Amino acid sequence: MNIKDLTANEFRGNVLIVQNDKVLFEYSNGYSDLANRIPNTFDTRFATASMGKTFVATGILQLIERGKLSFGDTLGKLLDFDLKAIDPGVTMEQLLTHTSGVPDYFDESVMDDYEELWVDYPCYKIRHNSDLIPLFINKPMMYPKGEKFQYNNTGYVLLALIIEKISGKDFDAFLKENIFDVCGMKSTGYFELDRLPSRCAGNYIYCEATGDFRTNIFSVGAKGTGDGGAFITVGDLLAFWKGLLEGRLLGADMVKKMLSKQSGNGEDPEEGYYGYGVWIIDNPNGSDYVYMQGFDPGVSVIAEYNPDKAMISIMVSNYTDDVWAMMRGVRKAYY
């Protein structure tokens, strides 16, 4: 398979594939502003949905390395608001690995459409992590802490609240100072949808009933939180991977833990396992593949690292195009 075949179906977004700092393939297509026909470019900032969990996990691991936190610290110790039915004994390890059982404000096992959340609770109210608390605080635990793996958005909102409590800064300010600035990710940030800076792509949802597109501004929170929502460029995502792998964000032992299987059962071979803030696909013939991903209405992104091939593959779309199918194509062509 030729890598160019992967974009034959007019993928809308950006693609960057690099091996040992050599660019194997780069591609940009589609419109960042559909109404005004402004094209995506390599400087376009894309929303990344749950990919932001990787940044939050990295921030928590930094605080652990600095002695400000431990994997065994609990919610009851760290947070000072009423947890109600949430088990105060839930640990940082369990939150990081989606084994906490805390009530998920968006339980993807029972809800298919993120837009359902905003029928009774306006999305424009979501501008801080604390704004999400009413969506989960009165719900029961989903299962006893540590019992199993189940992907959980609330867990990363709680982790971001802990970053804020310990650092005394908004979580995104902490991430900027300790991750984005360190890696030279000059275009990355958490921006309010009604105050977007330059070069941010709109995100578009196709409406079958009308045969055209609408934006996702009423489909997601007004600003990203601990469970996702950063805006990035493909170049900044590459810079993050390099900063992490080169030891500028975490020590070698912590990076190894972060990129190793910590939870999950691998029953779905494409989804794989979970490390700390990243997904891991089993590779019986070598080092496992590690990837970050995100999906929201109008958003689909993936960024994968193949240690044996020294390859980083990044695909981002502001039209929810199938980045996962493209990633399977890259694995087939190069791995």
pTM over 0.85: yes
Quick: pLDDT tens for 150-204.
999 999 999 999 999 999 999 999 999 999 999 999 999 999 999 999 999 999 9
The pLDDT of residue 29 is above 90: yes
Point out which residues pair with 289 in neighbouring strands.
281
Average pLDDT, the chain: 94
The pLDDT of residue 326 is above 60: yes
Point out which residues pair with 206 in neighbouring strands.
213
The pLDDT of residue 1 is above 60: no
Quote the CA–CA distance of 47 and 2 in Å, as a whole number: 28
CB 294, CB 49: distance < 8 Å: yes
Quick: pLDDT tens for 41-71.
999 999 999 999 999 999 999 999 999 999 9
- Picking from 38, 11, 46, the residue whose alpha carbon sits closest to that of residue 26 is 11
What does each C-alpha distance from 14 to 49, 317, 326 come to in angstroms? 16, 7, 12
Q: Sketch the domain layout of the chain as residue ranges.
A: 3-334
CB 156, CB 95: distance < 8 Å: yes
Give the rounded percent of residues in the chain with a pLDDT score beyond 90. Answer: 88
Measured CA angle at 135 (ends 150, 61), to 5 deg: 50
CB 129, CB 161: distance < 8 Å: yes
CATH topology of domain 3-334: Beta-lactamase (3.40.710)
What value does the mean pLDDT take over residues 94-103?
Answer: 98
Quick: pLDDT tens for 193-250.
999 999 999 999 999 989 999 999 999 999 999 999 999 999 999 999 999 999 999 9
Task: Indicate the pLDDT class of residue 120, thresholds 50, 70 and 90.
Answer: confident
CA dihedral sign of residues 91, 99, 322, 280: positive
Quote the CA–CA distance of 146 and 126 in Å, as a whole number: 29
Q: What are phi and psi of 244, to 5 degrees?
A: -70, -50
